[in-house]
């Protein structure tokens, strides 16, 4: 019989067949891996693109809402608004104020909730509240975009020399010139050097409690807070939370050791556990009394 023209493709030896089988499996694996790697870089590019868009939108929000106080380039203006496009801001600011989260969270919380405190009259006006969650004009995604825009200054700001750094020192924070190496030690100096007690309203804002707790909404079986319990009726709930703890003891413990008792319906570990280190004992006592006061002033 005549052999067909493709007969050279016939493999007779069983060993050769097995080798071919193994070879094709290996080739398939290599192809799949290569596709996987390409997919990953494609997704990374997509994320960068997405982040880029967010920064762009943030730039627009900044130009419309922020530059009047913080300057077009984020260099701040004395007496009006602090510098944000600043090496000091990116490298030392959160350690100076004793904020335990990330700088991004610090920026986001500040933009969202604003800052009613106005560091001892240093600035003409206060930092307004921006998030619609607190009665401001921006949606949460826009707050994120503004945050991304500010964070985007970091890469160039950290190259500033001390002379180029436009940082405007805050009146209530002693200026430190050495590099921050030991965060714990710096936090300690900051707390001890703040002479006067900060009022509870201010602590509630500046420590970020406001991001998770609503002060006016009621906390009931059918009305829960989004992240942490509402505090409109804390004075009624607190005495019944932990048997044997009166309201003040309970609220005190909730702030200092939040995971000792976890309110039903909420997640343990959500509330930062280190607030006890960020306030003096007097400040904590005043905060507890204020939270339990049904007629508290906001
Ligand atoms: C009316 C003036 C004003 C406007 C408008 C304003 N800010 Fe502020 N901002 C301030 C002041 C004043 C502070 C400092 C508050 C304090 O701690 O005393 C501040 C603080 C901040 C901080 C924290 C700085 C730090 O070192 O603690 C950030 C971040 C910030 N503003 C971002 C923004 C963004 C983003 C916008 C626009 C969406 C904006 N601000 C609009 C006045 C303003
Ligand atoms: C990141 C979110 C978050 C922040 C910030 C936060 N909390 Fe909480 N908090 C929670 C959650 C979640 C619970 C409920 C779970 C638990 O008991 O730990 C809670 C519980 C509480 C309770 C008990 C409330 C009740 O109804 O029994 C008090 C009081 C309290 N927090 C006070 C504070 C104070 C004061 C601050 C600021 C110094 C603060 N929290 C900051 C999330 C937060």
Q: What is the pTM of this model?
A: 0.51
260 CB-near residues (< 8 Å, 6+ apart): 253, 254
**HSE-up of 258 (CA within 13 Å, CB side)?**
15
pLDDT band at residue 148 under the 50/70/90 scheme: very high
Helix, coil or strand: residue 244: coil
pLDDT surpasses 90 at 231: yes
Residue of the CA atom closest to atom 19 of ligand 2: 228
Q: How confident is the model at residue 176, as a pLDDT?
A: 53
Residue of the CA atom closest to atom 38 of ligand 2: 209
**Segment 133-151 mean pLDDT:** 94
Percent of the chain's residues with pLDDT above 90: 48
Bridge partners (DSSP) of residue 81 are 77
70 within ligand 1 shell (Cβ under 6 A): yes
Contact between 100 and 190 under an 8 Å Cβ cutoff? The reply is no
Question: For tokens 């309201």, what's the residue?
Answer: 247
pLDDT tens digits, residue range 54-74? 999 999 999 999 999 999 899
271 within ligand 2 shell (Cβ under 6 A): yes
Q: Phi then psi for 252, rounded to 5 degrees?
A: -55, -50
219 CB-near residues (< 8 Å, 6+ apart): 225, 229, 230, 231, 232, 233, 234, 237
The C-alpha torsion from 247 through 253 and 254 to 255, rounded to 10°, is 120
Q: How confident is the model at residue 207, as a pLDDT?
A: 79
Contact between 155 and 163 under an 8 Å Cβ cutoff? The reply is no
pLDDT band at residue 174 under the 50/70/90 scheme: low
Q: What sign has the CA pseudo-torsion 286, 288, 292, 298?
A: positive
Bridge partners (DSSP) of residue 115 are 127
pLDDT surpasses 60 at 182: no
65 within ligand 1 shell (Cβ under 6 A): yes
Q: Which atom of ligand 2 is nearest to the CA of 241?
A: 27
Query: Residue 211's closest CA among 282, 296, 109?
Result: 109
Contact between 140 and 131 under an 8 Å Cβ cutoff? The reply is yes
pLDDT surpasses 80 at 119: no
Distance 67 CA to ligand 1 centre (A): 10
pLDDT surpasses 50 at 188: no
pLDDT tens digits, residue range 12-63? 888 888 999 999 999 999 999 999 988 888 888 888 888 889 999 999 999 9
Q: How confident is the model at residue 274, as a pLDDT?
A: 81
Mean pLDDT for the chain overall: 86
Q: Which uninterrupted H or E stretch holds 203?
A: helix 200-206
pLDDT surpasses 60 at 195: no
Fold topology of 209-292: Cytochrome Bc1 Complex; Chain D, domain 2 (1.10.760)
Task: Identify the top-confidence range among 94-103, 182-191, 196-205.
Answer: 94-103
Query: Residue 182's closest CA among 250, 92, 269?
Result: 92
Contact between 165 and 87 under an 8 Å Cβ cutoff? The reply is yes
Domain ranges of the chain: 68-194, 209-292
């Amino acid at each position: 019989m005549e052999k067909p023209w493709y007969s050279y493709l016939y493999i007779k030896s069983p060993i050769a067949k097995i080798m071919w089988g193994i070879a094709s499996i290996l080739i398939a694996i290599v192809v799949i891996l290569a596709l996987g790697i390409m997919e990953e870089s494609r997704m990374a590019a997509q994320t960068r693109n997405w982040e880029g868009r967010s920064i762009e939108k943030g730039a627009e929000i900044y130009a419309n809402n922020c530059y009047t106080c913080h300057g077009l380039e984020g260099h701040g203006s004395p007496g009006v608004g602090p510098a944000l496009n600043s090496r000091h801001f990116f490298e030392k600011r959160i350690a100076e104020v004793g904020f335990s989260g990330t700088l991004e969270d610090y920026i986001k919380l500040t933009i969202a909730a604003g800052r009613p405190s106005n560091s001892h009259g240093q600035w003409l006006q206060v930092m307004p509240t921006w998030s619609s969650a607190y009665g401001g004009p921006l949606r949460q995604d826009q707050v994120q975009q503004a945050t991304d825009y500010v964070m985007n200054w970091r890469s160039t700001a950290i190259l500033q020399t001390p002379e180029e750094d436009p940082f405007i020192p805050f009146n209530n924070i002693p200026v430190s010139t050495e590099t921050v190496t030991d965060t714990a030690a710096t936090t300690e100096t900051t707390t001890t050097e703040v002479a006067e007690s900060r009022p509870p309203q201010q602590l509630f804002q500046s420590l970020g409690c406001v991001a998770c707790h609503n002060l006016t909404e009621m906390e009931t079986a059918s009305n829960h807070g989004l992240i942490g319990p509402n505090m409109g009726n804390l004075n009624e709930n607190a005495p019944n939370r932990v048997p044997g703890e009166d309201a003040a003891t309970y609220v005190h413990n909730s702030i200092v050791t939040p995971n000792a008792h976890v309110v039903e319906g909420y997640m343990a570990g959500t509330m930062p556990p280190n607030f006890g280190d960020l306030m003096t004992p007097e400040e904590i006592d005043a905060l507890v009394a204020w939270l339990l006061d049904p007629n508290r002033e906001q």
